[in-house]
Amino acid sequence: MSRSSLRPVIGSLLGSVLLAAGMPVIAQSSFTVEFNGTVEADNEALGTPPPRPESYYDGASINGSFTIAVVAPQYQVGSEPSVAFIDPAGTLNYDFRIRDESFSYRSSDRLPSTPPVLFLSDYQGQQTVSYYTDFIPKYLGGIITFSGNSLFTGYDPTTIDLQSSKPSLDLYFADPIAQMRFDVTVASWRLIPTAVPEPATWAMLLLGLGALGLAARRQAPRARA
């Protein structure tokens, strides 16, 4: 390949790298939590008797997991000491089991007008980070709340740290089929971080793809020969 024909390839490759350097990350944070504990139930009072009474669930064991991805939280309402952010591209999915029943929720099933919500609160040094499936998950959805010290700085979602300070965990779920709201007393839980690609990672990926394309272009004339 001549030097003149190589220049456009190099220029295109460098442009892709520079573009990648300015790309936003896929998610600010992403993690899964596995948990177990016991549950207390409260009838949702939907006007018809629930399939099973509260007593069936009260005190029963619960185990499951939830996965949260914070993508692009946008300031919505509130002021210090409690600020709320909506995250239209974010996800909060969960699965859990009580006795012989399985429950699940997927953010992909929600209405576009009900995105996940992130609440950051700080009362006299006691901080909470709460993830809501939507603003008011009264009949369907859940609330995941971490409480502790030094969980975030300056009400900035990008500073959330749920690993260093070992916060406590509170869970609430609502299900319209069981017609119950469940408050969970968590016995144990484990946080599993998910790796989030950084812009430099995308740049390296594009650099590799560009190198492969260049190699293939150089091989083409040889094959025709």
pLDDT digits 0-9 by tens, 109-159: 887 778 999 999 999 889 999 999 998 899 999 999 999 999 999 999 999
Domain ranges across the chain: 1-25+198-225, 27-196
3-class state of residue 222 by DSSP: helix
What is the mean predicted confidence (pLDDT) over 100-115?
89
Within 10 angstroms of residue 216's Cβ, the number of other Cβ atoms is: 10
pLDDT digits 0-9 by tens, 48-86: 999 999 999 999 999 999 999 999 999 878 888 999 999
pLDDT digits 0-9 by tens, 149-200: 999 999 999 999 998 888 999 999 999 999 999 999 999 999 999 865 544 4
> Kindly report the CA angle at 174 between 69 and 147, in degrees rounded to 5?
55
Answering whether pTM is above 0.95, one says no
The pair phi, psi for residue 217, each rounded to 5°, is -70, -35
- CA of 103: how far to CAs of 94, 185, 217, in Å? 8, 17, 53
CA distance 128 to 147: 4
CA distance 42 to 57: 9
